[in-house]
Amino acid sequence: MGEFELIERYFAAVGATRSDVVLGVGDDAAVLSVPAGEELVACTDTLVAGRHFPDGFEAADIGWRSLAVNLSDLAAMGAAPAWALLALTLPALDEDWLEGFVTGFAALANAHGVALVGGDTTRGPLCMTVQALGTVPRGTALRRRGARAGDLVYVTGWPGDAAAGLALLTGRLSGSGANRGALEAKFRRPEPRVAFGIRLRGIASACIDVSDGLAADLGHLAAASGVGAVVRAEELPLSRALYTLAGEARARDFALGGGDDYELVFTVPPAARPTLARLTAGAGAPACHCIGEIVAGRGVRVVGERGELPVPRGWDHFRA
């Protein structure tokens, strides 16, 4: 099988069928129709073998993750995902691996109505770059910038679970049974908060997704908004699985510094609290907890019952 047969067999019809795809896989570029009154929201993220997922990580999980990390960026912008492109570099033509990868990728693409409309396939060390494209009604995209002193800080889901899952997969944390399975699943198959991000349009004053670590990503939001943030350690939501396997102190470290959560951290003015409460009470809404507030100044502080706690630094590929 050559490059073009491979593309035809595995990538020609992946994900949703959409009427706004004028031209998909097969030409020199895709042609896509952006609805009138909407803005295009674009992002891209790369996964490198051994860096973003451990060796031996299942192909289907890699496929899912490669799209999930991108849909999470769209979710943080309040965008509705529509299209994706996939640049895939493979060390060898392994049909089982390709089948698994596409199955995982397509499962998430179908769940969110995303069509794979193009890409590139090359030989080299295992690596993939996905680009995700979505839309928002003009002027409604959520941003990192916009939080103000007095706003409340919320996080969706159970931060720290995914980082603990990776620690289990790589032997830095031990545990077994259902707790282990639940945490590993959070790392293997993150669920981007797409529907919730869309519902936060017009409600959140600022929003970011958690990829580098809750404290670090909240720090990015605060810096972009020109404000500071205070997190109350006892308000951090810790899942029972995380608490059980890691213990309270280490669980809190995973939650604040772990990364890979792909949850949303966002701020709302206090007056929007009832609106948010209605939103989170709705069917299908993720768990959502207030963990602190925005203050004048800069930086993130974490306050516990016995004073300030150290704030973990987030992931940085090029930190000296």
Residues binding ligand ADP (CB under 6 A): 7, 11, 25-28, 86, 88, 116, 118-121
1 by DSSP, 3-state: which? coil
Choose between 27 and 55: whose C-beta lies nearer to ligand ADP. Answer: 27
CA angle 157, 253, 143 (to 5 degrees): 50
Q: Which residues contact 210 (CB under 8 A, 6 or more apart)?
A: 155, 159, 217, 259, 261, 262, 263, 264, 265
Q: Which does 78 bind (CB under 5 to 8 A by kind): ligand ADP, Mg ion, none?
A: none
**Shortest reach from residue 29's CB to ligand ADP, in Å:** 7
**Shortest reach from residue 98's CB to Mg ion, in Å:** 17
Instruction: Name which position in 120, 235, 248, 308 contacts Mg ion (CB under 5 A).
Output: 120
Q: What is the DSSP letter of 316?
A: -
Choose between 120 and 308: whose C-beta lies nearer to Mg ion. Answer: 120
Residue 248 binds to Mg ion (criterion: CB under 5 A): no
Choose between 7 and 111: whose C-beta lies nearer to Mg ion. Answer: 7
Q: What is the DSSP letter of 205?
A: S
Backbone angles phi, psi at 188, to 5 degrees: -70, -40
Q: What is the DSSP letter of 191?
A: -
Residue spans of beta strands (DSSP E) within 55-151: 80-90, 115-123, 127-137
CA distance 320 to 317: 9
Choose between 11 and 57: whose C-beta lies nearer to ligand ADP. Answer: 11
Q: Which does 96 bind (CB under 5 to 8 A by kind): Mg ion, ligand ADP, none?
A: none
CA distance 104 to 258: 24
**Shortest reach from residue 14's CB to Mg ion, in Å:** 17
* Beta-bridge partner residues of 58: none
Choose between 12 and 287: whose C-beta lies nearer to ligand ADP. Answer: 12
Q: Which does 223 bind (CB under 5 to 8 A by kind): Mg ion, ligand ADP, none?
A: none
Q: How many CB atoms lie within 10 A of CB 315?
A: 14
**Shortest reach from residue 23's CB to Mg ion, in Å:** 16
Q: How many residues bind Mg ion (CB under 5 A)?
A: 1
Q: Which does 262 bind (CB under 5 to 8 A by kind): Mg ion, ligand ADP, none?
A: none
CA distance 315 to 319: 9
> Which residues contact Mg ion (rule: CB under 5 A)?
120
